[in-house]
Structure 1
Amino acid sequence: MLIEMIPEIGHFALIIALLMAAVQACVPLAGAATRRPLWMAYARPMAAGQFAFLIVAYACLTASYLLDDFSVATVANNSNSMLPWYYKFSAVWGNHEGSVLLWSLILGAWTYAVSRFSRELPRDMLARVLGVMGLISTGFLVFVLATSNPFARLLPDVPSDGADLNPLLQDVGLIIHPPMLYMGYVGFSVVFAFAIAALLGGRLDAAWTRWARPWTNVAWAFLTVGIALGSWWAYYELGWGGWWFWDPVENASLLPWLAGTALIHSLAVTEKRGAFKSWTVLLAISTFSLSLMGTFLVRSGVLTSVHAFANDPSRGLFILVLLGITVGASLLLFALRAPRVSQRTGFAWLSRDALLLINNILLVVMTVTVLLGTLYPLLLDAFGLGKISVGPPYFNALFVPLTVLLCIFMGLGPLAQWKRTHARTLWRRTWLAGGMALVIAGAIPLLYDGEWNLRVSLGLAAALWIVLPMLRGLLDRMRQGTSRLAALRKLSLAYWGMLLAHLGVAVTIIGVSVVANYAVERNVRMGVGDTASLAGYTFTLTELGERRGPNFVAETARLEVQRGDDDRHFVMTPEKRLYLATGMPMTDVALRPGPLRDLYVAMGEELGDGSWALRLQYKPLVRWLWLGALLMAIGGLLAVIDRRYRRAVTARDPERAALKNAQEASA
């Protein structure tokens, strides 16, 4: 009997979580406004309780999937008795209802983490932060219960088996990609809540940016990993061999990442110099708003994509209203409080402050460029003005030059000084790095391919221009101590995190430049015994067969691959699968990964007389794309564990703490 009631228990837990979120939203904010400590004290227990009941609700939905309870609509529509248990576990968020519940659960986790690890904050500030996060939770839990109830039943007409999970989602990529992406999306709600709390309390000083900065770095790191995992998943799962398609849903994750990158730099300047206060608040609002917009695009039904879940316009309208309220109320509050945002710090046109400002402007322009390319076709269609498609030509023509400009200022920034830098000093520290970058970038295409390639040289020059000045700056810091080892020990983790994140950008740019220009693809017809050559490798089809999986049957090909005259060879086994429950065919590619290249084989269609269409691809440095993203994420996390953020902020004297932090940063 208890097992049969699991969905009802989950539904009841969701209702309790909503009520606790509503209390968390209203009572602490009212307490902070009226200076009532007892009311403000409601924030922490409500955050913990809400999170606990969301865990119960999510556990109940997971149990329904694992127990094959097909009386639950979302289980019947997205699972099957033959589905392996680990795909049943990930199928919980492989649909609209479950993914929105996961979104709410992660929001509850972030809220609880803030309540648990921010005890040093002034009581009124913490009450406002948790109150704002409670408002966001309330909106999403109302959305879940009103339009996307994951516990809706199909009684009394219970199907004997489920419709199965979309075969595209039956992959390890689904297990790790969406949770990472949501951790980034939802994590930006924390800095948004800090910004709104600072506006409500009139405390737009450096202290709130110091409190918000670690949470922003963690969210940005999760989003970076999530985007990289999505790229990797599409690369090997869809069978095309591409790693970025400028799909509108892909763009929806890129938009908050670009705005979040600008936000991280703006937070650093506000904390250390007291500048960019308006920038920081507006970027905090914009980054979370873009995260909500990404949720709207995926779940509104306005897009047709392998990434999009929902096709119910009422759900999209609800999220659109929530987005409008969030953006409108936030901007109105900023407009009312803007006169209090004073800018007392100045800087010269040639300084680290100015270079970071230019970087922020470029990142915002890149964000607007992607936003226009994504929304413009949708707006034209919505107003009945026709249908157009905005694809890679538009994005590449605008995004690539902006990225090169961004790299130029990224290379200069770490070598410049705060407030003012002499042009002669900056020239002396950068001319050698610039010359080396141009020479090396021009020579590598000639050595690799025998021909000069402008695109490759431009990408390599941009990447080297990021790395070489950083090395010069590191060497200069090492010379300042009594010994190089002692100087290295004095460098903060935040500094090492900055170096690693910028190195990750350079590694990704190198990977993009090389694989986009030197990848080789060949479509061939092969039967048993046939051979084909590609990029110095010989592929021989030695065997065709069949294989039975847990919920599919597959045609398999066995290819022996040999490089040049080398006697050593290896085997690659691509498959063409047919999933039994849905009758949907899927390509399972064979990959031979390596640090310098990938070999990629995908089966197409059977051509008769025992022959198959095969796609052979050679992709140099493709893994550098994801290696660079990993380095960026690690760099962001390193900055979080810097000792400045591990030490408690003195709640009773935030101004003194901010001054001390600024002195440490300058040192």
Structure 2
Amino acid sequence: MIAESGHYALVLALALALIQSFVPLIGAWLRDPALMNVARSTALAQMLFVGASFVALVALHVTSDFSVANVYENSHSMKPLIYKITGVWGNHEGSMLLWVSILALFGGLVAAFGNNLPLSLRAHVLAVQAWVASAFYLFILITSNPFLRIANPPIEGRDLNPVLQDIGLAVHPPMLYLGYVGFSISFSFAIAALIEGRIDAAWARWVRPWTLVAWIFLTLGIAMGSYWAYYELGWGGWWFWDPVENASLMPWLAGTALLHSALVMEKRNALKVWTILLSILTFSLSLLGTFLVRSGVLTSVHAFASDPTRGVFILLILCVFIGGSLSLYAARVSSLKQGGLFAPISREGALVLNNLFLTTACATVLVGTLYPLGLEVLTGEKISVGAPFFNLTFGPLFVPLLIAVPFGPMLAWKRGDLLGAAQRLLAAGIVALLALALVWAWAHGGSALAPPAIALAVFVILGSVTDLVERVGLFRAPFGTAMRRARGLPRSVWGTAFAHAGLGIALIGIVCETTWNSEYIGTMKPDDVAHVAGYELKLDGLFQRQGPNFREMIARFEVGRDGESLSVMTPSKRSFTTRGSSTTEAALLTRGASQLYISLGDVTNEGAIAVRIYHKPLVLLIWWGPVLMAFGGLLSLSDRRLRVGAPKPARAQPRLQPAE
């Protein structure tokens, strides 16, 4: 009955979404508050029903009900509980149910916490959100029903893909989906604004917190996915320019541009037309990513193979929402009033420059991802666009962007002083040049571009610090006064500084790992010693262990340096008999922000085992940077100005009558 109840709850959620799609629009047209308020109640009810459907699928996986096809295909009775739960979204049907559950969650949150929105705007936003939800409910029920029963239930399941049986998969997909799907709120606000014809600074104040929430989760989701690929796949890499990775990077780039343009719109009532377009494009790129992963047009370690029906259905959804929204935008854009003017040298100008480089980078990734697919469709020729293309195009775009990042907060709104900003950043520039000289003197080998890149990262980090120092007057006022000013700074200022500094920290990690990475690749027998970056790694022996649903071969390495024993590392290979496949469990030894990394290959006929040993200097900075960026986003989100939202119009107070 659990499967039937989950399926029934999903059908009821579809019915509620259809009501939410049309009744509030009729109410807005008739200016009927009762009908417009239907959006709020149906959004909350829809969230509860789809949540119940998702919980039902989790229960089926936890209880190993193999009469349900989804559980049989992706679970096993001996699988650990945590992987039974994460197995719910480790497949196409379950992940789509998670996708639409998060979509309903965001709609419910707008309904619950959007009391400061004008009633008609909230009705339109929730109606648009319901349009998207209805399309994906239909997609799930028609092509991807996770509650289908098997006529003759098997005794045991086929188990989850072994690569997905990892704690990273408990975090990565939900985080990624919270980012992907969270941008649907920005999209709904944009369409609602186009329908109403009302786009102003208040609209930007309303939409910015939701965009920021989605951006935070997408930042963490991409970082978690990168780290999962790094330690789980055994390749020792953290980014491969895989098309599915690109599918998550594109909305992140567009969403970052949207955050900055919404800030200009909120502060200066400018860039209105551009901000609306970015809101549409960001979620459109999320939908495109969903299509790439679900349609079967890509082969990837984290793409789901699907039948053509699913691909056609999602392509239809893509055409309807992207084509429809852009058509509405084209029809209404001429009626939108432009906002305030500003000089090219101003904070607005810096944010426009930011948008220019981010959207160009996004377009570059889009072309590099879709061009091979389009070429194969048109000519049948298969080509691959890999790291050389993306590295060659990203560098020229991000170098000027990173140079401009510290200048933006230093410039005044409307008209700024570039020379004055440069003078305030002089100390940061001098320290960056010193860092360039030190790295050049210290480094041996590697790219000649690495020291300038590190100097640029130092400039970005110190630029963020300089902005805070200038705002509190650290060296101009008494220390106590500066500390009081620091406590009084808006949290969004601190958030901006942390986010920009995180960008520089990540850049240092990327440059150091890619430039001065050391490796040893070969075969080893017990008592053999490998030397990597000054470390001695001795293979003590190979051992076998039986896991809950796998058999594991473990290698024991004793790690030393300069004759001193440091630690023991135990990489392994796991064989999953049910799936007939194996996984590599890399061993990591963290020393500061650097890591030693060991992964195992196959055993040779002579009893030796193939090993990959890497020393990755400052590699953890690659992920500490995004975490710091997300923390900056959280600080900005906690700013009272964002929590309060746009101000409500003051109510007229009744005039007091004089006493008789």
2:471 match: 477
Pick one of 325, 330, 333 that aligns with 1:335. Answer: 330
Q: Mapping of 1:274-285 within 5 angstroms?
A: 274-285=269-280
Q: Which residue of 2 aligns with 1:45?
A: 41
> Within 2, Cα distance between the matches of 1:24 and 1:49?
10
User: Aligned-pair distance for 1:553?
Assistant: 0.7
| Separation in 2, partners of 1:63, 1:190 | 29
Q: Deviations over 1:273-313 (max 9, x none)?
A: 11111111000000000000000000000000111113211
Matched, 1:67 2:57: no
Say which of 31, 36, 49 aligns to 1:35: 31
Match of 1:607 among 604, 607, 622: 604
Matched residue type, 1:491: L
Aligned position for 1:261: 256
Q: Which residue matches 2:441? A: 446
How far 1:481 moved relative to its partner?
6.9
In structure 1, how many angstroms separate the alpha carbons of the residues matched to 2:145 and 2:121? 34
Which runs of 5 or more structure 2 residues have no equivalent in the other structure?
652-660
Q: Is the 8 A contact 1:524 1:532 kept in 2?
A: no
Match of 1:413 in 2: 408
Residues of 1 paired with 2:298 and 2:371: CA distance?
A: 13
Provide the TM-score with structure 1 as the length reference. Answer: 0.95
The equivalent residue for 2:346 is 351
Give the aligned partner of residue 396 of structure 2.
401
The whole-number CA distance in structure 1 between the counterparts of 2:215 and 2:418 is 33
Question: Is 1:87 equivalent to 2:83 in the alignment?
Answer: yes
Q: Please name the residue that 1:562 is paired with.
A: 560
Aligned to 2:657: none
Is the 2:446–2:516 contact (alpha carbons within 8 Å) kept by the matching residues of 1? Answer: no
1:293 aligns with 2:251: no
- Of 379, 382, 387, the match for 1:384: 379
The reply to whether residue 241 of structure 1 matches residue 239 of structure 2 is: no
Q: What is the CA distance between 1:647 and its match in structure 2?
A: 2.6
Which residue is equivalent to 1:664?
none
**CA gap 1:653/1:303 in 2 versus in 1, 3 angstroms:** farther
Post-superposition shift, 1:350? Answer: 1.1
Q: What's the secondary structure of 2:552's corresponding residue?
A: strand
What SS is found at the alignment partner of 1:421?
A: coil
Q: Equivalents in 2 of 1:532, 1:218: separation in Å?
A: 46
Match of 1:106 among 102, 107, 117: 102
Q: Distance in 2 between matches of 1:243 and 1:423?
A: 38
- After superposition, what is the alpha-carbon deviation per residue over 1:461-504, rounded to whole angstroms, capped at 9, x for unaligned? 22122122222222221128771012112210011110010011
Give the Å deviation of 1:349.
1.7
User: Deviation at 1:530?
Assistant: 1.1
Counterpart residue type for residue 231 of structure 2: Y
Asked whether the 8 Å contact 2:544–2:551 carries over to 1, the reply is yes
Deviating more after overlay: 434-443 vs 104-113: 434-443
**One of 181, 188, 205 as aligned partner of 1:186:** 181
**CA shift in 2, pair 1:390/1:451, >3 Å:** closer
Instruction: Return the offset for 1:439.
Output: 2.7
2:644 is the counterpart of 1:647: yes
Task: Kindly indicate whether the alpha-carbon contact (under 8 Å) linking 2:446 and 2:515 is maintained by their aligned counterparts in 1.
Answer: no
Checking the alignment, whether the CA contact within 8 Å between 1:455 and 1:513 is kept in structure 2 is no
Give per-residue Cα distances to partners, 1:189-233, cap 9 Å, x unaligned: 011111111111111111111011011111000000000000000
Q: Which runs of 5+ in 1 are unaligned?
A: 655-667
Cα drift, residue 418 of structure 1:
1.1
Deviation at 1:317, TM superposition (A): 1.1
**1:152 aligns with one of 124, 148, 165:** 148
Say whether residues 1:502 and 2:497 are aligned partners: no
Amino acid at match of 1:538: E
Distance 2:645 2:279 in 1: 23
Partner-residue secondary structure (3-state), 2:147: coil
Partner of 2:192: 197
Partners of 2:306 and 2:196 in 1: CA distance: 41
Task: Give runs of aligned pairs for residues 421-436 of structure 1, distance below 5 A.
Answer: 421-436=416-431
Of residues 435, 457, 462, the one that matches 2:451 is 457
The Cα shift of 1:596 comes to 2.6
Aligned length: 647
1:662 aligns to what? none
SS at match of 2:591: coil
CA displacement, residues 550-606 of structure 1 (integer Å, 9 cap, x when unaligned): 0111111111000123x2321001111111211202111111123331001111110
> Is the contact made by 2:558 and 2:565 (CA closer than 8 Å) also made in structure 1?
no
CA drift of 1:652 comes to 3.6
The whole-number CA distance in structure 2 between the counterparts of 1:57 and 1:395 is 41
* Paired residue type of 1:570: S
Give secondary structure in 2 for the equivalent of 1:568. strand
Q: Is the 8 A contact 2:539 2:555 kept in 1?
A: yes
Distance 2:594 2:429 in 1: 28
2:7 corresponds to 1:25 = no
Give the distance between the partners of 1:569 and 1:470, measured in 2 at CA: 37
Residues in 1 aligned to 2:43 and 2:84: alpha-carbon distance in whole angstroms: 29
Q: Report matched runs for 1:309-328 at 5 Å.
A: 309-328=304-323
What amino acid maps onto 1:517 in structure 2? T
- 2:616 pairs with 1:629: no
With 523-532 and 172-181 compared, the bigger mean Cα shift is at 523-532
Deviation at 1:610, TM superposition (A): 2.2
* 8 A Cα contact 1:445 1:451, kept in partner: no
**1:169 is the counterpart of 2:146:** no
The root-mean-square deviation of aligned C-alpha atoms, in Å, is 1.5
Alpha-carbon separation, structure 2, partners of 1:209 and 1:404: 29
- Using the size of structure 2 for normalisation, the TM-score is 0.96
C-alpha distance in 1 between matches for 2:78 and 2:179: 33
Structure 1 stretches of 4+ with a deviation exceeding 4 A read: 450-453
Shift, 1:648, TM fit: 5.5
Query: Helix, strand or coil for the counterpart of 1:592?
Result: strand
In structure 2, how many angstroms separate the alpha carbons of the residues matched to 1:423 and 1:414?
11
Identity %: 48
Q: In structure 2, the residue corresponding to 1:387 is in which secondary structure?
A: coil
Q: Secondary structure at the match of 2:602?
A: strand
* 1:373 counterpart (368, 371, 377): 368
* Residue in 2 that maps onto 1:57: 53
Contact 1:238 1:587 (8 Å CA) reproduced: yes
